[in-house]
Structure 1
Amino acid sequence: MDVRQMIESITREVLQSMKIPQEKKPKWLFIFCDSTAHEPFADQFIALQNHGICHDLLFLDGETSSWLGMHRIECGGAGKIIATDEYAPAPLELPKEYDGIVIPEIDLDNAARVAAGLKGTIKAEVIFSALVLGKPVLVGEDVPGIKRSDRRCLKTLTLPLPYQKLFLRHVNDMKELGIEFAAQKELAASIIRKSRAIRQAAELAIPLPDAAGMQPADAKLITADWVQSQSDFPDSALVLRQGAIVSPLALDLLKEKGVKVHYVR
């Protein structure tokens, strides 16, 4: 081996060994109805990037098939799952790799499946898996409940009133399952808040036995004004339920008071 090549090889190995491990960034999965449905969300993707949040896009080309990058993912219904190539994950496996799932638009069929605990479509299986794994699921709330393909085929934008009522009932059932809804234009902001809360919970979480007898605060958003309004913090601790958000100013104020923040389920 040439001396220069040997020195270059040794230098490269030394530099690689000196690499500082980077903090893992949160990553969310967006599931879109087709390959053009993501275009109105370009600005929101920029906002996520600016806040250090990664995302992947999953495009559906049918109820039981979709594309994630170059990999085709298929599900053949309840009890039958097919990954068409060796590198493509099954729908149930997808949420394992993400901090949360985002479905900007859901329709009557998928809402009914999710509310009833049924599978058989990509969206239904991914949502089921995410909820079982305790991953957050965020769904657009300002949607008509009728598929994009059905709107184009039937030349209509809304469901008939009886179907609208049925869709709303399914939406309420989905909320009871723990699925969160937000306006489509606010999805990025919701992801940023949720990712911040998840990071805070991971940094400050304490084992549940250690929190025995400690009553979590009812507030979902802790602000500086809220902190100042509290006369006392027992044991110099503030216990919050997972999902509660502490503003940066409130966190600084709590540190000044010597109050530690803990999260419990």
Structure 2
Amino acid sequence: MHVHSMKSKKVHLHQQFQYQRKVVLHLYSTLIRHQSKMTLTTSLRSCRLMRHYRKKRRRYVKKIVCRISRNTYHRHQSSYIIPSIVNAWQTEQTSLVERLKGMEGGIHLTGDGRCDSPGHSAKYGGYTVIEQRINKVLDTQLVQSNEVTSSNACDLEGLKRCLTLLTETHELDVASMVTDRHKSIEKYLREETPHNPHTAELKHHFDAWHIAKGLGKKIDALSKKKGCEDVGLWKKSIIHHMYYVAGTVPEGQADLLGEKWKSVANHVQDIHEHDTEIYPMCDQDLSQLSC
């Protein structure tokens, strides 16, 4: 009955507003046709009448729309919306884990963290891991800064939780892990993972994008020094060379990787033969380039 009365009031108000609108429009047209017979006071009254019913209708519609309180909204969110999202995510995560258990060679993860604000004063930090072969998110963890020593430690704690869930709960073997050059993460993967049977064979790699980002900053800083301005002109080529080295050297050949990277010092001088047995000459596609 209450809903029906609200609808009837709304319809009645709308009809009343439409009628008054027609009256005012009629007054406007009459004013134009018979300007000598109507006064300015009549036209002003008609304008006030129009504004009055507009405000009245707007207030009434606002009362009808805003019927859900803040407490009701949060109660619906915590009771229905969030549990539905969590249930859908856990179902998808379980299906991905079952799919990976049927694949040989362990899982190959890529992980990175993200804070809710830049700098070192973030309140929350999230860490996400992706399986490289299927290109799917396996897990994501949210860490509050007061749970750890500082906001900078959120990445390490998030990584620990992800690995704990995947290795202990789902019993997956981790073959490799790609991260940024976070010192705490590097130390943890080097010292702690060998003691876990699911991560004993884990190989840690650095993400080339993060290395290129740091390299670009160093080149920019060097190019600002007196006499080193021309270094900035080589920034793009040096970063491309780093990506080329990372993509062409086979895994496990660290010596070749180092010599091929250091050859950039000769390459920028248009020298493509080097005094090393591991990498005596630039590749054909590099030596043919004009420096």
Fold conserved between structures, TM > 0.5: no
Q: Which has the larger radius of gyration?
A: 2
Q: Which has the higher strand share?
A: 1
Q: Which has the higher helix share?
A: 2
Higher RCO, 1 vs 2 (CA within 8 Å, ≥6 residues apart): 1
Q: TM-score, normalised by structure 1?
A: 0.27
